[in-house]
Structure 1
């Protein structure tokens, strides 16, 4: 497995765990619901990453050469 496949598997597992936790708990609070929504968005972005060109863009630009030191 490469890092991308491991990340997809990990986020889908996190979504699966959050989903069954919210089903199992009788009094789900706002934090548990927000956690489920957050993992849903994270898993969707991870799965859609290779499919959507905008998600393939680098987050930072190429590094620039260091500036010369002034005397």
Structure 2
């Protein structure tokens, strides 16, 4: 007999935690939009370009130094 359990959690952040969560979401959105613009520019310049995660991941350190 197999018993299945589920747990339900509710996050209730306050003050500083809310600010940090919003900041993290903003960073993620910025990086996503930046990567999307890069891919779009690459596609428009050369339609045979294949996109890969590693190519975009290698750009992250450059963007980090560009936007400190």
Shorter-chain TM-score: what band?
A: 0.3 to 0.5
TM-score normalised according to structure 1 size:
0.37
Q: TM-score, normalised by structure 2?
A: 0.39
Flag the structure with more relative contact order, 1 or 2, with Cα contacts below 8 A and sequence separation at least 6: 1
